Amino acid sequence: MMADRSVLVDRDGPTLIVTLNRPRVLNALDAAMFRELGDVLGRAGADDEVRVLVLTGAGEKAFAAGADLKELAAETPAGARDLARRGQHVFNRLERLGKPVIAAINGFALGGGCELAMACTIRLAADTAQLGQPEITLGLIPGFGGSQRLPRLVGRARAAELLLTGRSIDAEEACRIGLVTRVVPAADLMAAARDLARTVAAGPPLAVRYMLAALVEGADMPLDQAQEYEAGLFGLAAATEDMREGTAAFLEKRKPQFKGR
């Protein structure tokens, strides 16, 4: 890992550990970080040896405390719109990577940091984490997808209350309303994320990709259309060697050996 970069990358077998690395500013998201994160996602998506990603923040205080306000304050309205579009592009790329991304939320996940976490597949939070969308308190609204992903995760009424007040919530409340999946002691967060990543990475890669497509793409379709989409993906999965291996292993009472074919 290169300590002078805004995004650090480390390998743990089939798991890619991605760390936002601006701890002195609570891992605030600036243009360089977006650029580097986009590059990391491009490489990870093309690497068949990478099965799952874990995304976290450097230091003990923050996952990501939001957009870099010094950078944002200097933007024109047109520049701010373009910044939002760039952030949305990176987060959409993450959400549609075709590989699971586990957010290990180790502290503040506010504004853009919360939006980044919501673009991940699964969210684990330290018991010290704080999440929220405080943009309204700055005279702004979320720009990286927060006004759209939050109601899809927690429901429109809960999302409206959080978005309109800018209130931050602790990890336990975030778990109770469905914003995060699980809360663990801060000291155990990365171990829990790595354990979950190993479990997911042991699954059949093609079926995992189809499952993610069904979850992400199907969420915005009418039910009958989404079910037809699911049926098509089911057919694709049934054509794989991994499907034959999985069913054979079940019948033979042994552990399957998936190869991504």
Catalytic residue list: 115, 135
Class of residue 40 by CB neighbours under 10 A (exposed 0-12, middle 13-18, buried 19+) = buried
For residues 103 and 117, the answer to whether their CB atoms sit within 8 Å is yes
Long-range pairs of 231-237 with CB within 8 A, sequence gap ≥ 24: 234/210, 236/206, 236/210, 237/206, 237/207, 237/210
Phi/psi-derived region of residue 141, left when phi > 0, alpha when psi is between -120 and 50, beta in every other case:
beta
Residue 54 φ/ψ, nearest 5 degrees: -120, 125
Distance between CA 115 and CA 126 in Å, rounded? Answer: 17
Q: What angle do CA 17, 148, 143 make, to 5 degrees?
A: 75
Distance between CA 111 and CA 26 in Å, rounded? Answer: 12
For residues 134 and 166, the answer to whether their CB atoms sit within 8 Å is yes
